[in-house]
Structure 1
Amino acid sequence: MLKARPALRRAVIWSTGAAALATTGAVVSPAFGTAPEVNATAVAANGVQWSPCKPPDDPKWAAWKGSECATLRLPIDWARPDGPTFDLAIARRQADPAARTGTLVFGPGGPGDSGVERVGTGVSRFSPEVRRRFDIVSFDPRGVGLSSPVTCTPALLAERPSPKMTSQADFEATVAYNRRLRDDCRANTKPAGIFDHLDSGQTVRDLEAIRVALGEKKLTFHGSSYGTMLGAQYAETYPRNVRAMVLESVMDHSVPTTRALLKDGAAAGQDLFNEFVKWCEGNADCALRDRDVRAVWKKLLAKAERGELATPPRLAGRLGSRLTSNDLVNMVAFRAFYQAGFKMLADDIVDMETREASGPPPRLSPLPPAVPVFCADWQLPVRNYREYASLVRTMNRTAPDMPYLLPLRLAAACLGAPTANPQHRLKPTARKAPTVLLVNSAHDPATPHKWAVSVTRQFGRKGVLVTYDGWGHGSANDTPCMEKAVDGYLTDLKVPARGTHCPAVS
C-alpha cells in the first residue's frame, strides 16, 4: 500500500494581516507589532526582536506554543529602497542550543502557502536531527497570510468564469473579468502599491533581507514547490551568500511558452492517473480492484457534467454538495495525487458512484487570491479564442483522463495580466553558488520530474538531483533513504552521489 502523506500545498489566505506604513527605512518589530526604525541599508542593525507569537484570536493558533514571531518592515519596491514599505511576517522554532549549526529558512509553496503557519503549527516535515541542529525560520511571502495578503471582494471572486470557453465572446468576457478582478484586488490590498509588486523577483530581495536580519553570513535554505523558484532565483542573484540549498519538487521557470507549460502539466497529471490505474489492478486495498477504472471515471465525469455528481463527504464542507467536472479532476483526483492518496481516491470514486446528488447546483470553486503572484511570474500569452481552444485540445490529448487540469485554470486567470518576472533560464551566476541539492518524485502531479532534470542542468556541475522512485508532491522525508540524503547535506554538507535514486515505499 502506498504511504500516505499530508499534502504540501495548502493555499491559506488569511484576511487579517498587519500592514503598517512607514515613509523610509526598514523596521524589525516583535510579534506583529511596531518597533523603532533602523536604516534601510542596515536592516539587521539591532537584530530581529523575537517574541512569543500573539496573533489574533483563532482556534488554529492554539497549538503554537514554542514558536516565536517578528516582522520585518521592507520596501514595497526594491528598486525604490527608501520608498513605501510593508510588514513581512516571519516565525521560528529554535534548535537545541548545544547542537545548533545555524538557521534553516524554509521557502513555502503555493503560491499562497503560509510559512508562518507552517512553523507555528509544527515543523514535522523536517527530521528530528535537522530540528535539533537548526533554528527553523519561515515567512509569509508578500501578498500571503500576514504579509499584506491579497484581498479581493468575495462576491467578485465567486463570479470567476469557467475555463470551458466556447467562443471568442467567452474569451473576451474572461479577459474583461480578469481586468475587473485585478482592479478590485489592487484597491482592496493594503498598503497601496503592494499588489503590483508580488513577483518572485521582489521576494528574492525579501529573502536576502531575512538572511541579513537574522545575522546569518550564509543562507541555508529549503524551498518546496513554488518555493524552489524563489530558491533558484536567489542562487542566481546572491550566489556567494548560499551555504546550502535544497529544492524539493522543482518548478522550472525556464519553460518558455504557454503550450509547453500546459502540456507538461497535463502529462504530469495523466502520469499519476496511469499510476493510479496500475495500482488498482488487483490490489486488495483498491475499492475498484478488478474493475475498469477508466470506464468508471469516465462515467463520473459525465455525471458531473450533468450536475448530478455528489461531493465525497470529506470534501463537502469545502466544495458544496455537488461537483463540477472541473473540481472532480482538480479538487478530488489531483489533490489526492499530491499525497499519493490512491486508496483515498478509489474510496471516493466508489462513494460518488453510489451517492445521490442533492442540494444547490454545482459551482466552480474559486481560485485563491494568490493567483496574482503566479501571474506576475509567468508570461502566458493567448491571443484569442482560437488559440485557447488549440491549447485545450493539446492538454486533453495529453491527459484524456484529466481534462481541464489546474494549469489551464491558471492560464485563463492570467489572461491580460502584466508579468514582472517572466520565465528565463538561470543565469550563469547561479553556477557560482555552492552545490545545490534538488529532490523530486519520479511521479509528481504538479512538478514533473523533467523539470527537476532541467533545473539541475541549469546549475551545471553545481546541481545534484536525488530522485524518489515513487509518487506524490514532495519527497524530502518520504523514506529513510531520502531523509538521509537531505539531512546529510543540510547538516554536514555531504553531497549525495550524482544520479542517486531512492526506492519507492509501497
Structure 2
Amino acid sequence: MPRDPDHRKGVRKLNRWALPLAAALLLGACTSADDEAPARSLDDYYGQKISFGNCEEFATTASDAGYLTAAEAECGWLEVPLDYSEPEGATGRIAVSRVPARGEKPIGSMVLNPGGPGARGVSFAALLSQAWAQSPVTENFDLVGFDPRGTGATTPAVDCFTDAERDSDALPGAILGLGTADPVTLADRCAASVGGKDVLGHIGTRDTARDMDVLRAVLGDEKLTYTGASYGTRLGPVYAEMFPDRVRAMVLDGAVDPRQPSTQAYRTQQLAGFQRAFDKLATACAEQDSCPLGTDPAQATAQFNDLVQPLAQNPVPASGGRSLGFVAAVDSMVSTLYDKAQWPQAIAGLTQLRKGKGDVLLELRDNLHGRQEDGSYVDFLEATYAISCADDEHFTPEENSAALQAYSDAAPFMAPPSPIAAAVPDDCAGWPEHDPVGHPYAVGIEGLPNTLTVSVTGDAASPHEYGISLAETLGGDLLTVHGDLHVATIAGNECVDDAVATYLVDLKGPGPGAECWL
C-alpha cells in the first residue's frame, strides 16, 4: 500500500512503495510547444540552467512548506520533453529542490526519491537534510529532490477525482476489486487532466529515469549519486539499466525485487509480507488486556474479518459527519504495518471500532491518503495509479480476477466480504500504449559500480528477500538491518547512518555479511 509523503507524523513517516491496491491517478495540464519557436534537441534540455530561488510555489501542503523553510531549501524548474522521441514537442516542468551542502568543498549533488511511486521529492530533500543534519552526507553533497512526473508541483500533474470522490474511496481496484471507479472511464478522466492519452502514456518510470539523467547533467554532475527508498529502489536500477556509465553511487533502501517474473507475482509476495506483519501485530496485541483481536493470534485474521467486513454495507460514524467503511478500515490497518511503532494506534482504532466509532482508524486512513485539514487531497495515490499503469503489464479480466484471488489468499486479513467475480476489469483497462519497465529488469548490467542495498528483516512492504535479490542482481553490497520497519536510512540508527555515509562519501561499501540492529 503506498503511503503519502505529507510527513505530518514526523521524519519516519516516509513515502512507501507497495502494490497499488488502493490505486489512484496521474499528471495535470501540459505545456504546448509554440508553433513559432525553433525546434529543440535533447542537447538543449541537457544544456539548460535551473534558476534556484524561493520555494513558496513548490510546496503543495502546509507541511511541505514548513520542511522547505526549516531546511532553507532553494527551488527551481527543470524543463523536459513529455515524449523523449519528440524533443521538439510538448514539454513539462519538473519541480526541483536543493539543500546546499554544509561543507566548503562538496563532492556534488545527491538526487533523491522517497518512493510511492509518485511521492513528492521536493519536500523529501528538505526532510532528509534534517534527519542527516550532522551526517558527512549533508556536509559533502547538495541534497536534491524532485517531484516526478504526475505528482506534486510538477506539471502536468494528475487530478482524476474530486475530493468528495476520494472521501468515498472511489478508487480503481481499491481493496481486491472493490473499487467503485470504472477503469476505462477513469483512464479518460486521467488523460483529460494531463492533456490527452499521448501524455498519459509518458508518466512511467522509464521517462522519469530520463528526466533524472537530464537533472544530473544540469546539476553539473558527470555521474549520478542517488538515494532511493521503496519504489525509489525500482527507479534507481531502471536508471542504471538505461545509463550504466553515468552512475557514481546508489543507496537503495526498502527494495523492489527486479527479478520477479511479473507484477502479479511481486504483489502476491508483497501481500504475504503484510500478512506476516499483521500476524506479528496480533501476537503483540494478544499479550495485552482486552485485545480487540482476541487472545489467540491464530484467530486474529478471522476476528479482524468479522469486525471490518460488515462495514462494506454498514459503515460506522466518525466525527465531522463522515463514516468509516470497509476499504478505509483495511487501508488504515495496512498503514500501521510499515512501522512497529504504529501498532498501538491500530489497536486503539480497532478497540474504538468495536464500540461503533471510526475516528481513530479514519485518521490513519487520511494520513495514508494525504487528506489535508481543509478536506482536500494531495495527488500521491492518483500518481501511484498512473505510474503503475504506465510501468506494468496489463491483464484480461479473467487474468486479473485470478490475481485478485491470489492476493486475497496471500493476505486473508484483507479478504473482501464477497467472493471475487470471475472476470474483474484490470485497473489499467483503457490505458494508452506505454513503455513498461518489464520483468525482470536491471539484470546483467555491465560496468555498473558497486551499489548499496539496505534491507530490514521485518519490512512488511518490502520483504527481506527482495533486498537480497536486488543486491545480487546488481552485484552490489547488502546491509541487513534487523527490525520491523519499512526503510531504515531515516530511522536515526547510528550503524545504518555510518555505513551509508561511508559508502556515499568514500565509495566504500560495508562488504559481505554486514548487519545492523534497530
Give the counterpart letter for 1:43 in structure 2: Y
Match of 2:5 in 1: none
Unaligned runs of 5+ in 1: 27-35
CA distance in 2, matches of 1:116, 1:197: 21
Change in Cα spacing, 1:293 to 1:356, as seen in structure 2 (3 Å) is farther
Contact 2:323 2:358 in 1 (8 A): yes
CA distance in 2, matches of 1:41, 1:235: 21
Contact 2:77 2:96 in 1 (8 A): yes
Match of 1:346 in 2: 347
Change in Cα spacing, 1:56 to 1:125, as seen in structure 2 (3 Å) is closer
Shift, 1:397, TM fit:
2.8
Change in Cα spacing, 1:188 to 1:161, as seen in structure 2 (3 Å) is closer
Q: Secondary structure at the match of 1:106?
A: strand
Match of 1:270 in 2: 275
CA distance in 2, matches of 1:161, 1:46: 39
Give the counterpart letter for 2:344 in structure 1: K
Change in Cα spacing, 1:357 to 1:425, as seen in structure 2 (3 Å) is closer
Match of 1:376 in 2: 390
> Which shows bigger deviation, 216-225 or 152-161?
152-161
Q: Secondary structure at the match of 2:43?
A: coil
CA distance in 2, matches of 1:295, 1:188: 46
Shift, 1:497, TM fit:
1.6
Change in Cα spacing, 1:241 to 1:304, as seen in structure 2 (3 Å) is same
Aligned residue among 236, 241, 253 for 1:236: 241
> Which shows bigger deviation, 151-160 or 390-399?
151-160
Contact 2:456 2:488 in 1 (8 A): yes
Aligned residue among 444, 449, 453 for 2:468: 453
Match of 2:82 in 1: 76
Match of 2:158 in 1: 150
Alignment of 1:493 with 2:498, yes or no, is no
CA distance in 1, matches of 2:41, 2:394: 39
Alignment of 1:476 with 2:489, yes or no, is yes
Shift, 1:15, TM fit:
11
> Which shows bigger deviation, 367-376 or 240-249?
367-376
Shift, 1:392, TM fit:
3.5
Match of 1:47 in 2: 49
Q: Secondary structure at the match of 1:445?
A: coil
Shift, 1:197, TM fit:
0.5
Match of 2:224 in 1: 219
Shift, 1:303, TM fit:
3.4
CA distance in 2, matches of 1:23, 1:77: 16
Contact 2:29 2:195 in 1 (8 A): no
Give the counterpart letter for 1:137 in structure 2: V
Aligned residue among 124, 127, 136 for 1:118: 124
Shift, 1:188, TM fit:
1.9
Change in Cα spacing, 1:117 to 1:163, as seen in structure 2 (3 Å) is closer
CA distance in 2, matches of 1:198, 1:443: 32
Aligned residue among 133, 147, 167 for 2:140: 133
Contact 2:30 2:194 in 1 (8 A): no
Contact 1:310 1:322 in 2 (8 A): yes
Q: Percent identity?
A: 26
Alignment of 1:306 with 2:310, yes or no, is yes
Contact 1:267 1:398 in 2 (8 A): yes
Q: Secondary structure at the match of 1:105?
A: strand
Shift, 1:50, TM fit:
1.0
1:143-174 per-residue CA deviation (whole Å, 9 max, x = no partner) reads 111111112242777644666789xxx99x97
Shift, 1:399, TM fit:
2.2
Shift, 1:92, TM fit:
0.7
Contact 2:255 2:466 in 1 (8 A): yes
Shift, 1:70, TM fit:
0.8
1:419-455 per-residue CA deviation (whole Å, 9 max, x = no partner) reads 4214233355624111011111112222222222222
Give the counterpart letter for 1:55 in structure 2: E
Which structure's relative contact order is higher, taking Cα pairs within 8 Å and 6+ residues apart?
2
Give the counterpart letter for 2:305 in structure 1: L
Shift, 1:62, TM fit:
4.5
1:60-108 per-residue CA deviation (whole Å, 9 max, x = no partner) reads 4255321111111111111222222111111111111425222110023
Shift, 1:199, TM fit:
1.1
Match of 2:332 in 1: 332
Aligned residue among 193, 201, 204 for 1:196: 201
Shift, 1:403, TM fit:
2.6
Q: 1:328-477 to 2 correspondence within 5 Å?
A: 328-329=329-330, 331-340=331-340, 341-356=342-357, 368-370=381-383, 371-384=385-398, 387-403=399-415, 412-415=426-429, 417=431, 418-427=433-442, 430-460=445-475, 463-477=476-490
> Which shows bigger deviation, 419-428 or 231-240?
419-428
Match of 1:31 in 2: none
For these two proteins, the number of residue pairs brought into alignment is 468
1:458-481 per-residue CA deviation (whole Å, 9 max, x = no partner) reads 213xx2111111112111243222
Contact 2:251 2:453 in 1 (8 A): yes
Cα RMSD, aligned residues only: 3.9
Change in Cα spacing, 1:489 to 1:472, as seen in structure 2 (3 Å) is same
Shift, 1:493, TM fit:
1.1
CA distance in 2, matches of 1:203, 1:161: 23
Contact 2:27 2:200 in 1 (8 A): no
Contact 1:156 1:181 in 2 (8 A): no
Contact 1:77 1:197 in 2 (8 A): yes
Match of 1:33 in 2: none
Unaligned runs of 5+ in 2: 1-9, 18-22, 370-379
Change in Cα spacing, 1:333 to 1:24, as seen in structure 2 (3 Å) is farther
Change in Cα spacing, 1:422 to 1:94, as seen in structure 2 (3 Å) is closer
CA distance in 2, matches of 1:178, 1:310: 28
Change in Cα spacing, 1:403 to 1:412, as seen in structure 2 (3 Å) is farther
Give the counterpart letter for 1:116 in structure 2: V
Give the counterpart letter for 1:467 in structure 2: T
Change in Cα spacing, 1:305 to 1:110, as seen in structure 2 (3 Å) is same
Q: Secondary structure at the match of 1:205?
A: helix
TM-score for both structures, normalised by structure 1:
0.80
CA distance in 2, matches of 1:283, 1:488: 42
Change in Cα spacing, 1:398 to 1:219, as seen in structure 2 (3 Å) is same
CA distance in 1, matches of 2:52, 2:39: 16
Give the counterpart letter for 1:144 in structure 2: T
Q: Secondary structure at the match of 1:51?
A: coil
Give the counterpart letter for 2:502 in structure 1: G
CA distance in 2, matches of 1:15, 1:165: 21
1:217-236 per-residue CA deviation (whole Å, 9 max, x = no partner) reads 11110011111111001111
Q: Secondary structure at the match of 1:473?
A: coil
